[in-house]
Amino acid sequence: MKRIVIITAFVLSSVYEALAQLHQVADNSNGWIMYLGDHKVSDKWGVHLEAQFRRSEIVSKPQQLLFRPGINYYFNNQVFATAGYAFIETHPYGKFPVARDFSEHRFWEQIQIKNQLKIVEYISRFRLEQRYVNSINGAPGNYSEGPTVYTNRFRLMQRFSVPLKGQKIEDKSLYITAYDEFFINFGKEVKYNIFDQNRAYIGLGYKLPGVGRLELGYLNQLLMKSDGIRIENNHTLAVTLSSTLDFYRKKK
């Protein structure tokens, strides 16, 4: 048994050393401020409203700007589907900066399922994205937007939330939440980064009566660049307001 442990440790250390030699890893510190809204406008239909202001070097420099509206269809209180559009503008940031600002237009579809397992609130989200990214052409000092590159991406998120008191997250509840989401690229334009990124998050939340949930947490974003060699390890302070304010009931 001791010999097996020694051999296993040697093999694992060799693999990690090989990965370190094959990839360039850079640590960045970012700050994200996010609003996520899912608002019913009838018994079965609703709107998704989302805005994210992402900053680098915590908050001092721009990283990304994201707007993501959509239309929700509610199968029941636990399951709903969404289809929508997103606009993203990315700025040069971090230790592996892009050459200049570039934009992306995106269509997306998802299904979200919510369950209550005793005191644990459990959410699964499956998302598909069709991405139209404006590439960058030119020489240093004279860069311009190039042709649009089309790719697809699949995302899977699993989130768990537990109240600090009581059996369920209710108004004025404090809770702990954690999730993991991984991203897979596919399509003929994807060559070196089939694995796109992974996001692991842990945070503390408070349910605001009549509004939604406010969270403060730490997000680790492990992001592979398109060359398949450079990897960003982004340490992110995340502030999120999630609202399910019901427009339909308010009108009634």
Q: How far apart are CA 3 and CA 27, in angstroms?
A: 36
Q: Write down the pTM of the prediction.
A: 0.87
Average predicted confidence (pLDDT) for the chain: 90
Tokens 């052409």 -> residue:
137
- Looking at residue 10, what is its pLDDT? 62
Judge whether residue 252 has pLDDT over 60: no
What's the CATH code, domain 28-251?
2.40.160
Q: Tell me the pLDDT tens digit for each residue of 180-205.
A: 999 999 999 898 889 999 999 999 99
Amino acid at 30: N
Q: How far apart are CA 112 and CA 122, in angstroms?
A: 11
Q: How far apart are CA 211 and CA 44, in angstroms?
A: 20
- Looking at residue 13, what is its pLDDT? 60
- Domain positions in the chain are 28-251
Judge whether residue 15 has pLDDT over 50: no
Q: Which two tokens stand for residue 163?
A: 């109240």
Q: Tell me the pLDDT tens digit for each residue of 135-147.
A: 877 656 667 677 8
Q: Tell me the pLDDT tens digit for each residue of 58-96.
A: 899 999 999 999 999 999 999 999 999 999 999 999 999
Percent of the chain with pLDDT over 90: 74
Q: Tell me the pLDDT tens digit for each residue of 238-248.
A: 999 999 998 88
